[in-house]
Amino acid sequence: MSDRSRVRAFVALCTSRLREYYREPEVLFWGFVFPLLLSAALAVAFRERPPEPSRVAVITGPGAASVMDAFERAPLVEGALSSAAAAGRDLRMARVDLVVVPPPTADDVVEYRHDPSRPEAGIARSRVDDALQRAAGRQDVLAARDVQTGDPGGRYVDFLVPGLVGLNLMSAGMWGVGFVLVDMRIKKLLRRLLATPMRASDFLAAQMATRVAFTIFEVVVLLGFGHLALGVPVRGGVLAILVVSVLGGLTFAGLGLLVASRARRIETVTGLMNVVMLPMFIASGVFFSVDRFPAAVQPLLRALPLTALNEALRAVTLEGASLWSQGPHLLLLAAWGIVCFGVGLRLFRWS
């Protein structure tokens, strides 16, 4: 067969796949709208806020007025007078962070009631104690100066968006290749194509090539949204980010091919996909860092392809790291991709 007609067949396969893709509304929803909504929702939930004042109940009594007076000068303490019973209830319901029982006379002790397992309680105690001690005449012996930072790049949303890009590349790659192949096998479309002079390798290459095209599109949309709407910094070169993404997209397309290589039922491939994707969804550092897991399982988690992809994406995007510095991650990804693709091809059945 001449090269020209092979190119024609390859282009026709790619075009058909692209058409099927953008004519599938569900694909657009799960591929784009859903990750955008998710990152927007999480960005709102974890948005930057001014420090929250501590909510403090002051039990009414002889010393309450001077306590409230001291709180007037403490901007981060919000005091309210309350009966002992009501204050106890509010404390249990976490409506207040701390209850102050004022000293009836200047010689008595002030009592702080709080639940030490709540992080707010400790903060409230420090602030209240500080305000009351100053009001009682304490002098600071060491001079201090505050320097406030709020670096973009250190926020949760900055951590999250590259993780969501990685997650999206995984699920889109696996579904986009694996599910489609099984669907075509069930409909006997694979068999029908095999009955033409089409080359099997051209067909699979077209699947991979279209996946690369979708990957670039998906990354540009998701990171673009993160950058423009959520202020996520993009410090790395666009080319480096795309190289990492395309490698990740191909790796998961290979994993999708492997998962889909034998399945003859949609239920089978769906189950296999979930078995493969769910552990990575949780443990590959999409929503929180891999460092949070026990040290013993870390080597295992770091060997997962999505972990490598997420770490490389974060380093390149947030820190502007070079591709070279991400070599180990990229090699790991490539190894996963090559092995899965090779084994998948070996096992692949057309009908």
Partner 1 sequence: MSSAVPAVVVAELRKDYGPVQAVRGVSFTIDTGTCFGLLGPNGAGKTTTVEILEGLLPPTSGEVRVLGRRWGRDDREIRERLGVCLQQTVLSEKLEVGETLSLFRAFYREGRPPEEVIAEVGLSEKRRARVGTLSGGQKQRLAVACALVGDPELLFLDEPTTGLDPQSRRQVWDLVRRFKDRGRTVLLTTHYMDEAEKLCDQLAVIDHGQFIAEGSPAELIRSLGGDHVIEVAVEEGETPPPPDELAGLPAVRSVHRDALRLTLSVTEPHVALPALLARLDSAGRSLASLSTRHASLEDVFVSLTGRHLRDE
- Footprint of partner 1 (CB under 8 A): 1-2, 5, 8-9, 11-13, 15-16, 19-20, 23-24, 187-189, 191-198, 351
Minimum gap (Å) between residue 27 Cβ and partner 1: 10
Q: For residue 34, what are its two tokens?
A: 């859903």
Q: Which of 57, 53, 91, 94 is nearest to 74 (CA)?
A: 53
For partner 1, the closer CB: 12 or 347 = 12
DSSP label of 136: T
For partner 1, the closer CB: 78 or 183 = 183
Q: For residue 215, what are its two tokens?
A: 């990957």
Minimum gap (Å) between residue 209 Cβ and partner 1: 15
Taking the C-alpha atoms of residue 112 and residue 102, their distance in angstroms, rounded to an integer, is 9
Minimum gap (Å) between residue 17 Cβ and partner 1: 9
Minimum gap (Å) between residue 55 Cβ and partner 1: 57
Taking the C-alpha atoms of residue 115 and residue 131, their distance in angstroms, rounded to an integer, is 20
Listed in sequence order, the DSSP H helices in the chain are 3-22, 25-28, 34-45, 64-72, 84-92, 119-135, 156-174, 180-186, 189-194, 200-230, 238-259, 266-283, 298-302, 305-318, 327-347
For partner 1, the closer CB: 11 or 239 = 11
Secondary structure (3-state) at 264? coil
For partner 1, the closer CB: 1 or 93 = 1
For partner 1, the closer CB: 4 or 49 = 4
Secondary structure (3-state) at 100? strand
Q: For residue 323, what are its two tokens?
A: 């591709």
For partner 1, the closer CB: 16 or 325 = 16
DSSP label of 50: P
Secondary structure (3-state) at 133? helix
Cβ burial of 67 (10 Å; 0-12, 13-18, 19+) is buried
For partner 1, the closer CB: 47 or 188 = 188
- The Cβ of residue 8 has, within 10 Å, a number of other Cβ atoms equal to 11
Minimum gap (Å) between residue 16 Cβ and partner 1: 5
- Cβ atoms of 68 and 79 closer than 8 Å: yes
For partner 1, the closer CB: 175 or 341 = 175
Minimum gap (Å) between residue 274 Cβ and partner 1: 25
CA distances to 75, 109, 144, 146, 208 from 286, rounded to whole Å, are 37, 49, 39, 33, 24
Number of alpha carbons in the 13 Å side-chain half-sphere of residue 171 = 21
For partner 1, the closer CB: 81 or 189 = 189
